[in-house]
Structure 1
Amino acid sequence: MSEPTRVLGRIEREGDAVAVVFDRHYATTKADLWAACTEPDRLARWFAPVSGDLREGGTFTIHFDDADTPVCRVIRCAPPERLVWEWPVGEVAGLVTVGVATDGDGARLTLRHERLTPAQAPGYAAGWDTYVRSLDAYLRGADGPDWDAMWSALHELYAAASTSGAADPC
């Protein structure tokens, strides 16, 4: 695995409220990107196995390799453009918003995970950054990065930016 030379996302702060944000172009169609982000069999190829109901008002469980299994609640599902869900993180339900749009000759993903604490932000930023890279590799038919190694390298970059007070480590 090559070391990442830069992060792909940014950390936004407003007081104690922190969000991690990603905005990426993919060489695929809007419909394909939406399916990759909402169909359990496809999510398992670049994110994690997901079981449950991904419809508005439904709940689903993310089954991560480390035995973390958050049960999330879908707040809004507006195919093929927006999926919003609550992701329980301790006592707080983080809010994840995924937007998909046509973007020139491809599609654009915007992902925002908010309601994080300053201490949580570098870890979630590194995780989502690794997944954004994995999604790109999956859509190109390539192997994704070594998740643990990529997360560790990215976490260092996001943590350094976070402690330096930089809101946007790009």
Structure 2
Amino acid sequence: MSELTEVLGRIERDGEAVAAVFERHYATSPDDLWQACTDPVRLARWFAPVTGDLRPGGHFTIHFDDADTPVCRVVSCAAPTVLVWEWPVRDAPTLVTVEVHPDGAGSRLTLRHEGLPAPQAPGYAAGWDTYVRSLGAHLDGSTAPDWDATWSALHAKYSATS
């Protein structure tokens, strides 16, 4: 399996509840990783442009390249370790939790997107997996993988394991 299409996350199922979960070590400080995950300027470099109020109770919009613009709500924020927000998927709220912790000489990101509709879970898992790779490239200054090609290869793999 090539490094670019090795699955980095997992899809968890508990009855009807479905979540995409990622845990990843990065060779950067927890503060730098937190900033990369919460600063709109840095988010635009590896995830998507984000506008709005990123404080608890605030609403923000993610502006994806494909014209998808979900309006999300910050549920809680315990900077610099935990950010939780609601992301509407098919008009139902899903929950994204981002945690940043020290991990040896670097830091660990744990990202959990729960409440996903089962049929769409492989697509969201492939998307987050591709973004987790892009975050790594942003942090180490390397070139991010081609989003469409990586997502397509990963979507097939997540679909096969669901």
**What is aligned with 1:130?**
130
**What is aligned with 2:144?**
144
Show CA shifts across 1:97-150 (max 9, x none). 000000000000000000012101100000000000000011000110100110
User: Which structure dedicates a bigger proportion of its chain to helix?
Assistant: 2
SS of the residue 1:11 aligns to: strand
Alignment partners' CA distance in 2, 1:64 and 1:117: 20
SS of the residue 2:74 aligns to: strand
**What is aligned with 2:62?**
62
Alignment partners' CA distance in 2, 1:5 and 1:132: 12
Unaligned runs of 5+ residues in structure 1 are 163-170
Tell me by how many angstroms 1:91 deviates: 2.3
**What is aligned with 2:24?**
24
Structure 1 window deviating more from structure 2 (3-12 vs 137-146): it is 3-12
Structure 1 window deviating more from structure 2 (3-12 vs 73-82): it is 3-12
2:92 is the counterpart of 1:92: yes
2:82 is the counterpart of 1:82: yes
Alignment partners' CA distance in 2, 1:135 and 1:153: 18
- Counterpart residue identity of residue 131, structure 1: Y
User: Could you state the TM-score of these two structures normalised by the residue count of structure 2?
Assistant: 0.97
Show CA shifts across 1:41-92 (max 9, x none). 0000000000011111111000000000000000001100000000001121
Alignment partners' CA distance in 2, 1:87 and 1:148: 22
**What is aligned with 1:159?**
159
- Length, aligned pairs only: 161
Q: Does the 8 Å CA contact 1:3/1:150 hold for their aligned counterparts? A: no
* Cα RMSD after superposing both structures: 1.0
**What is aligned with 1:48?**
48
User: Could you state the TM-score of these two structures normalised by the residue count of structure 1?
Assistant: 0.93
**What is aligned with 1:38?**
38
**What is aligned with 1:166?**
none
- Counterpart residue identity of residue 31, structure 1: D
Tell me by how many angstroms 1:4 deviates: 3.2
Query: What is the identity percentage for the equivalent residue pairs of Structure 1 and Structure 2?
Result: 72
- Counterpart residue identity of residue 159, structure 1: S
Alignment partners' CA distance in 2, 1:28 and 1:5: 23
**What is aligned with 2:104?**
104
- Counterpart residue identity of residue 32, structure 2: D
